[in-house]
Amino acid sequence: SRAQVVVIGGGYGGATAARYVRLLSEGKVDVVLVEPQPRFVSCPVSNLVLSGLRQLSDITSPYDTLVSRHGVTWVRDSASRLDTAAKTVTLAGGSSLRYDTLVVSPGVELLFDEIAGLRAAHASGQVLQAWKAGPETAALRRQLEAMPDGGVYAISVPESPYRCPPGPYERASVIAAYFQRAKPKSKVLILDANPDVTSKPALFKKAWAELYPGMVEYRPLHKVVAVEGQRIRIEVQDDVRADVLNLLPPMRANSIAAESGLMNAGRWCKVDWLTFESTAAKDVHVLGDAVLAAGGMPKSAHMANAHAKVAAAAIVARLRGEPVNPHPMLTNTCYSHVGDTSAIHVASVHEYVAAEATFKPVPGSGGVSVQRNEAEAAFAAGWARNIWADTLG
Ligand code: FAD
């Protein structure tokens, strides 16, 4: 009978894996994608929805092409239980799927309970995260639009590692750009649990000083521990008040990974880097943000897409009884908008080092932009179009 690969999660890792297993097997392996959301909504570029330069529809794509062009079977449901011994996935709707190989790319879980009061404040719609793009992105945009001129928008950054190292700083930057256009007496406050800006610190700080003098305030080592109304409590500091609170709690691998025993490295999942096979379960491959990263590997869409291609090649090789590629490579580029028309980037290349059984950055590869400029913003738009095409076909 034909081999069947089941993929849990149709985000950057899962959708790419589904597409590449179909491509690399030349349609000879059946792929079932389990994803409850009706459409793919991209986190990359979602900060520009908050600044008003893009609409939610600009970052939303259908899953149709994976189905019609690539022959992926899409089951619009969520996985509720994995039985890695029986090799079955139980769906929330009650049915179950058998697999020969399972791919798990469910993204992150936001740990609301690590900030006192946050779960209730989020449930009531008062404090949003918008760290999974979709309706919350639009809701946060509405909060920013409703904020009076002279108000304060506060974003908190959890301790690393978290999804998208530069994401909070890009968000702070483009919201400052919006304030400058629409409500110039307003302020952006960044409360960072980390000792410094996690990604491209010099470039971000230069942009804030030069583009938004007096508007963006950055406070390192400010760990948010509680929220009460519009007040934010910070470990060993005075409370602060803000009008729009965008509190990002600590993160871990999504619950389906956690509850099925795949989260075997603290808050993340450990994999064999040659294949992305879980070290906790045979024939189960974990991708994307849920994975415990190797040196210098960010939790990014670009990385999840790269993980997926290495895993898909290994899965198809194994199903054919062929050896897996002994020297996989991964690349990453993260563009960040710092203004309405300017952006910066960080790039890296990672190679599998057999002697240490891990990925390491290739010395001399990658680096950061020399300076922000308009060309980088155009490259960022091109990057997004390309990754959407590569992920969704
Ligand atoms: P996701 O893309 O989140 O996909 C997970 C999918 O799994 C979701 O569709 C979810 O519905 C589904 N799922 C969850 N649980 C289940 C279940 N039980 N059953 C079935 N399905 C399930 N990265 C970049 O490279 N460049 C950028 O410019 C960039 N900008 C960003 C900006 C922001 C504001 C944010 C928040 C992130 C940004 N990222 C960026 C990071 C990027 O979005 C993530 O790293 C990427 O989405 C990770 O892919 P993933 O497959 O691990 O998870």
Question: pLDDT tens digits for 144-198?
Answer: 999 999 999 999 999 999 999 999 999 999 999 999 999 999 999 999 999 999 9
Residue 268: CA atoms inside 13 Å, Cβ hemisphere, count? 17
pLDDT tens for residues 95-108? 999 999 999 999 99
Q: What is the pLDDT of residue 295?
A: 85
Q: What is the pLDDT of residue 112?
A: 98
State yes or no: pLDDT of 268 exceeds 90. Answer: yes
Q: Residue 296's pLDDT band (boundaries 50, 70, 90)?
A: confident
Separation in Å, CA 97 to CA 33, 274, 355? 11, 26, 38
State yes or no: pLDDT of 1 exceeds 90. Answer: no
Ligand 1 centre from 43 Cα, in Å? Answer: 7
Separation in Å, CA 302 to CA 191, 297, 365, 368, 388? 26, 10, 16, 16, 10
pLDDT tens for residues 37-88? 999 999 999 999 999 999 999 999 999 999 999 999 999 999 999 999 999 9
pLDDT tens for residues 340-363? 999 999 999 999 999 999 999 999
Q: Residue 237's pLDDT band (boundaries 50, 70, 90)?
A: confident
State yes or no: pLDDT of 238 exceeds 90. Answer: no
Distance CA(212)–CA(51), nearest Å, equals 14
Atom index in ligand 1 nearest the CA of residue 291 equals 52
Residue listed under structure tokens 């994975």: 291
Regarding an ipTM greater than 0.95, the answer is yes
Residue 296: CA atoms inside 13 Å, Cβ hemisphere, count? 20
H helix count then E strand count, the chain: 10, 25
Instruction: Classify 231 as helix, strand or coil.
Output: strand
Is the CB–ligand 1 distance for residue 47 below 6 Å?
Answer: yes
| Strands 343-353 vs 329-337: parallel, antiparallel or unpaired | antiparallel
Separation in Å, CA 312 to CA 62, 76, 228, 272? 22, 22, 46, 14
Percent of the chain with pLDDT over 90: 98
Is the CB–ligand 1 distance for residue 337 below 6 Å?
Answer: no
Per-chain mean pLDDT for the chain: 97
State yes or no: pLDDT of 236 exceeds 90. Answer: no
Ligand 1 centre from 181 Cα, in Å? Answer: 30
Contact 225, 115 (CB under 8 A): yes
Q: What is the pLDDT of residue 53?
A: 98
> What letter would DSSP give residue 1?
-
What integer is the mean pLDDT of 276-303?
Answer: 96
Ligand 1 centre from 30 Cα, in Å? Answer: 24
Is the CB–ligand 1 distance for residue 107 below 6 Å?
Answer: yes
What integer is the mean pLDDT of 14-27?
Answer: 98
Contact 336, 376 (CB under 8 A): no
The predicted model scores a pTM of 0.98
Which residue's CA is the nearest one to ligand 1's atom 18?
79
Contact 83, 90 (CB under 8 A): yes
Query: Which H/E stretch holds residue 376?
Result: helix 374-392
Ligand 1 centre from 12 Cα, in Å? Answer: 6
